[in-house]
Amino acid sequence: MALSEWLRSIAQHYLDTARQEDCHKLIKILRDAYLDAVKDVTHFRQHAERLYYPHFRERLQRIIAEEQTHVQWLQEKILTLGGDLPTPAGPAKLGKNSWENLRMDLEEEKKDYDELLQGLQTAEHLDPAIAEELRRIRHEERKHREELRDLLQKSEPDVPPHPITRQPGVEKQKQAWLEQQKMEWLDERRTMWEADGKSIPWIEWLTQQEYAWTANELPNRELVWTLRLAEQDAQ
């Protein structure tokens, strides 16, 4: 092997190694952000059901829907880069009332906003496109923090912690309604899949639909349910 070829091979080896290290750094940044986003969605969703006022639940549901888009983008980007998805933490921690839940949510958003800055600064040197998306997510996190602060200021620390107890069986009704919504949605999607000639195997198609339902459809249907309850309470 000529000296020039040997030098080129050495240089290419170091270049490939550097790219792999950069990719690992990006995946770690995205995995950390993914865990935070999943935790936020889980906590906010459980806390929303314990809010006393329907219009407060509606506002928190909107935040949940935006946080869910963060989860979806982060998941897709991690898998695209060849990473694997981390396992989220356990169930949400619940305070003694809805005011305390909102306070914990606000503290969590502050922490996520600060931690995302470090990842953003690293990503700017590795992948400008990813950095730009992380910057957008951080901007939305700041809006969520302001929204939660406003909700907290307008809440009373001693409001009843379990509003759903005023409507026995409402959670069971909600789950039955969501299940019916999912079945109708899947039927429509299956009709489209069959019309396209069943382009992918059934198991792969079903897996994609389960993800699409959880990531995109479920938050929207839950928001519709919350709005329906708010209308009933107002009557």
Residues 129 and 180 in one domain: no
Q: What's residue 131's pLDDT?
A: 86
pLDDT in tens, 140-184: 988 988 888 888 877 766 544 444 444 557 778 888 888 888 888
Residues 58 and 150 in one domain: yes
User: Per-residue pLDDT for 115 more than 70?
Assistant: yes
Q: State which residues form the domain around 184.
A: 167-235
Angle between the N-to-C axes of helices 54-80 and 3-48, in degrees from 0 to 180, rounded to the nearest 10: 160
Q: pTM for the whole thing?
A: 0.59
Q: What's residue 152's pLDDT?
A: 81
Residues 30 and 106 in one domain: yes
Residues 171 and 154 in one domain: no
Residues 79 and 98 in one domain: yes
Residues 104 and 189 in one domain: no
Q: Name the residue with tokens 């992380």.
A: 134
**Which band of pLDDT confidence, cut at 50, 70 and 90, is reported for residue 210?**
confident
CA-based nearest residue to 77, from 28, 150, 44, 112: 28
CATH code where residue 55 lies: 1.20.1260.10
pLDDT in tens, 11-38: 444 444 545 677 788 888 888 889 888 8
Residues 110 and 211 in one domain: no
Q: What span, in angstroms and rounded, lies between the C-alpha atoms of 144 and 68?
A: 13
Q: Of 138, 162, 186, at which residue does a domain stop? A: 162
Q: What span, in angstroms and rounded, lies between the C-alpha atoms of 31 and 23?
A: 12
Degrees to nearest 5, angle at CA 97 with 143 and 43: 45
Q: What span, in angstroms and rounded, lies between the C-alpha atoms of 75 and 139?
A: 19
Residues 180 and 136 in one domain: no
Residues 102 and 213 in one domain: no
Q: What span, in angstroms and rounded, lies between the C-alpha atoms of 224 and 174?
A: 11
